Structure 1
């Protein structure tokens, strides 16, 4: 069975194509969204999702989030005594989604279509494939997130031809794509984005302002548990501002209360630099597609961060119309991934749908320029495949050695848009042996082939001998080798994954522990008693007592958490 997965920075979810339409997969807690958070429990078992998210505040040193931003890098996350790479943590999220889908479908899930930001680099895409492999999945296809959103949206369109823009702002990344749909063909015209811009950055702006305005000392940032609480309050304030004109943030640091009132106007002001960063990729995508803003028929929103009023207002002002609202922005990418899964499975209901995509970056090699005075300067970028070229694509360009009789030609492959390679991203290098002829006879034809999964093959053909050399990118920073993948698989196999059937109990405990730390006085004591009662029931392993105690604790948590969200005088 093949499923579609939206592996998100903040939340992830899965969907399956069934009975002629996509269906979202419920997790063990009965929710569609699974927070992309991993935590190590006291007994050494791994917690995934909501239970782990609640432990961000209570056990920050044992919990990791936002690791998608570091896919394809060497960054590691220390959780207790163990270190994890971003793809390992992502694999644990993928494994949980896989198990949820298997529970829903009643059959094994072995394959997946996984979405990635359109602006993910080659190494980030390969890291995503590795994450799938570590989770026990065969990754059939990587699909750009805005393309997936467009695919889900396109199924609802009745027009013969339409041009629309997908504005995809998630928790940690931003993508924009312009697409055209006609006669059952969905063609991506252009894509652009920012891999380090998302909803979390808007929350961080609130946190920074709080430090500036509330008198909170800078060294409070060193307290991980306190910072997680402050970030949670900032996130709550951001959400309240979508319904109210003012949100209050109140915290207590070392016995001193710090209070700040955030207005819609002030929030918009501090977020203006982020809004400017959102506008820039949109403008570039329009230029690359040779389309004016008024020629766009509709704007599709994807990603939970697009719920923010200031973001929606910015989009409305840019295009002079309201964006499409019929699809849930949290779910539309996963729905599109399920559509692609159905296409890969050759479902008859989708036989008329054809989709094309584009290469998000320019790909090329480093060259040397000869100056008018006879001198030579290296470090220049020579494009071979331009950004927003329809894929799959294959392009060839000829190069000659610098010196007569040169025996080796070094090809260094880069991606990016800068004139100089120092400002682009190096993907790999290839040494091509030469026959030692004069320059004119020792040329090399370099062919780049870029496929629909965003994977690049480099082929260099020596003209004089017709010898062909292919680039296998190995040893790049942040990319695991096959041996390293095997070692990581063995290490992950030793981890004790918290049982899915007990996820409801563990998530409630994590939520209760987080709330207990926030309360004071009598409410704290009352919640503590309910937590103890629930723990005692769990120890007895009597299902009836567990259900009773769980319901009591859930009601207590709901009561106290409701008060904490809406009482402006509530403090941590």
Structure 2
């Protein structure tokens, strides 16, 4: 069975394509959205809502937003052991797969996972490694804007059309321009910012709160900052629908009342809005289109609900965007459609999905000036950004000096004319025969970039036809196959809380979080927690279920009272 997964920065979803079309599966708590948060509780791992509540009550054992670290060697220590971003993502994937298997009643072996269009080669490889660590084969990585277009059924509108997909999630921003014709989805251009999302708008609110109340953010305790972020996140969500009531909370024994309206929120976030304009303008420029040539603009991603986003799009394109598919679910639904296409579901007409290379790929060269001096460190593009993939391009290179013994082909990704400002992906060193002239010691370099964002580099010596190949499997920060096997074995030793206990774990984690937040209700909350823990010891599932519902209702009332 093949499933579609939206592995998001703040929330993740899983589903499949069945007889009734794309269907998302609920988690053990009955929710479609599973928070992308991991927490270690003793020798057990929590994923999802219970883990998110522990961001406040147990911040030193809990981590979120680790999707932003994919493709790096960064490690996070939780419960006495270090986790890489791939491992944390794998734990989220395991939880999602358990939910899908519970819904389908069969083992999941394959998946299509959505990734930001602007994800680099290293980030895509890290996502594949996460799937391997979770025990599932990744059949395809689909770019999130392309998945969103599938969710909107743009391929079923008839005729031809050009669409701009604006995807602002919790941690990343993507914009893609697609054209649909004759059951072909062709991506003309992609651009984005992997460090711009809803979390950054929340950071602006935290900064404003601290400035207005003469607080130093660095001086706040971890629990206090976590509590403040959670309350302000709710405040930000209310801004999208109505003017929220003033926020009231206690920090370090002092009470604060603070509020913000939509106009001021838009004002303090103007630098982020300007950052969104740049990728949009770049994508339009690369696609060689004017706003009037677009048929629709589609908004997806939970952060796209902010009114300032719709205003930006309306000002830039002179029309209102489409938002009739739940922005939190659009990419997950599109991943489900992509999984149906991959499994050749009979209900789906054959759709050809094309994509583009989001970055320029090239090598380092040296140049000789008019005085004969050699200057190194220049970037020479081989595959230009927004080239339709799969794509293969080649070029010729020669040594700079007679009797040069070695030619190094450095592989870079980026848009800067100097390699120092781009990202190095790898290198191939070719030993030269110094008896030959520079013209006879040339090499042909071919870059091949495939639909999954993987790059193959071939270097052929022109004189001998000897070939050198690099699949870029040793990118800095990425796990080797041996390391993946070792970490897979280590993950197997972790005990993930059983799915049938998730509701009990979640309600206790929520109560502990409220205990941290509401200091005047601590005695009552402690009694409730003690009572519910004693009921768990009875192992009477019916009794536990009835009291869990009452416990949740009591927590709802407590939180509503503020």
- Structure 1 length as normaliser, TM-score? 0.96
> After superposition, where does 1:92-491 map in structure 2 within 5 Å?
92-155=91-154, 157-221=156-220, 223-245=221-243, 247-436=245-434, 437-491=436-490
- The answer to whether the 8 Å contact 1:530/1:556 transfers is no
Shift in Å, 1:406: 2.1
Question: Cα distance 1:247–1:430, how it changes in 2: closer, same or farther (>3 A)?
Answer: farther
Contact 1:113 1:141 in 2 (8 A): yes
Deviation of 1:335 (Å)? 1.1
Distance 1:558 1:245 in 2: 22
Query: 1:235-260 CA deviation, whole Å, 9 max, x = no partner?
Result: 11111211233552333222222332
* C-alpha spacing 1:391/1:540, structure 2 compared with 1 (3 Å): same
Task: Measure the CA separation in 2 of the matches of 1:145 and 1:187.
Answer: 14
Query: 1:218: how far off?
Result: 4.3
Cα distance in structure 2, aligned partners of 1:535 and 1:156: 52
Give me the whole-angstrom Cα distance separating, in 1, the residues matched to 2:59 and 2:155. Answer: 43
Decide whether the 8 Å contact of 2:425 with 2:476 is kept in 1: no
Instruction: Report the Cα distance in structure 2 between the residues aligned to 1:90 and 1:180, rounded to whole angstroms.
Output: 32
Q: 1:337 to 1:560 in 2, by over 3 A?
A: same
Deviations 1:211-238 (A, max 9, x none): 11111234423x1111100111111111
Aligned counterparts of 1:516 and 1:252: Cα–Cα separation in 2: 13
Q: Which residue in the other structure is 1:568 paired with?
A: none
Which whole-Å CA distance do the structure 2 matches of 1:88 and 1:455 have between them? 21
In 2: Cα distance, 1:387 partner to 1:544 partner: 59
- Alpha-carbon RMSD across the aligned residues, in angstroms, is 1.3
* Cα-to-partner distance string for 1:494-543 (whole Å, 9 max, x where unaligned): 0010001100110111111112222243x443333322221110011111
Partner of 1:569: none
Contact 2:378 2:418 in 1 (8 A): yes
CA offsets, 1:297-356, max 9 Å, x none? 111111100011111211121111111122111111111111111111112222431111
Q: Are the equivalent residues in 2 in contact too, given 1:533–1:549 (CA < 8 A)?
A: no
Cα distance, 1:72 vs structure 2:
0.9
Q: Distance in 2 between matches of 1:140 and 1:378?
A: 41
Whole-angstrom distance in 2 between the partners of 1:158 and 1:428: 43
Counterpart secondary structure, 1:4: strand
SS in 2 for 1:94: helix
- Asked if structure 1 preserves the Cα contact closer than 8 Å seen for 2:298 and 2:323, the reply is yes
1: distance between equivalents of 2:261 and 2:373?
60
CA shift for structure 1 position 116? 0.7
8 A contact 1:220–1:227 mirrored in 2: no
Equivalent residue number for residue 78 of structure 1: 77
Query: Deviation string for 1:403-433 (max 9, x for gaps)?
Result: 1132321010000100000111000011122
Structure 1 gaps of 5+ residues are 565-572
Separation in 1, partners of 2:423, 2:94? 31
Contact 2:74/2:85 (8 A) holds in 1 = yes
Three-state SS of the structure 2 residue aligned to 1:372 is coil
SS in 1 for 2:271: helix
Q: Partners of 1:498 and 1:245 in 2: how far apart? A: 40
| Cα distance between partner residues in 2 of 1:156 and 1:359 | 22
Tell me which moved more, 67-76 or 154-163.
154-163
- Partner Cα separation in structure 2 for residue 16 and residue 218 of structure 1: 43
**Counterpart of 1:527?**
525
Identify the range of structure 1 (547-556 vs 342-351) with the bigger mean alpha-carbon deviation.
342-351
* CA distance in structure 2 between the aligned counterparts of 1:539 and 1:466, rounded to whole angstroms: 73
The C-alpha deviation readout for 1:116-157, integer Å capped at 9, x for no partner, is 111111111111000000000101111111111112223574
Q: How far did residue 51 of structure 1 move?
A: 0.4
Q: Is the 8 A contact 2:455 2:471 kept in 1?
A: no
Provide the rounded CA distance (Å) in 1 between the counterparts of 2:154 and 2:21. Answer: 10
- 2:493 maps to which residue? 494
Deviations 1:355-375 (A, max 9, x none): 111000000000001111100
Aligned to 1:567: none
Distance 1:501 1:257 in 2: 40
Cα distance in structure 2, aligned partners of 1:13 and 1:288 = 32
Displacement of 1:264 in angstroms is 1.5
How many matched pairs? 561
Within 1, Cα distance between the matches of 2:344 and 2:101? 21
- The DSSP-based 3-state class of the residue aligned with 1:56 is helix
Aligned partners of 1:96 and 1:510: how far apart in 2?
A: 17
- For the Cα contact (< 8 Å) 2:361–2:414, is it kept in 1? yes
Give yes or no for contact 1:220–1:226 (8 Å, CA) kept in 2.
Answer: no
Unaligned runs of 5+ in 2: none
Q: 1:299 aligns to what SS in structure 2?
A: strand
Matched with 1:16 is 16
Distance 2:217 2:388 in 1: 49
* Shift >4 Å, 4+ stretches: none
Q: Helix, strand or coil for the counterpart of 2:152?
A: helix
Matched, 1:30 2:15: no
Q: Secondary structure at the match of 2:370?
A: coil
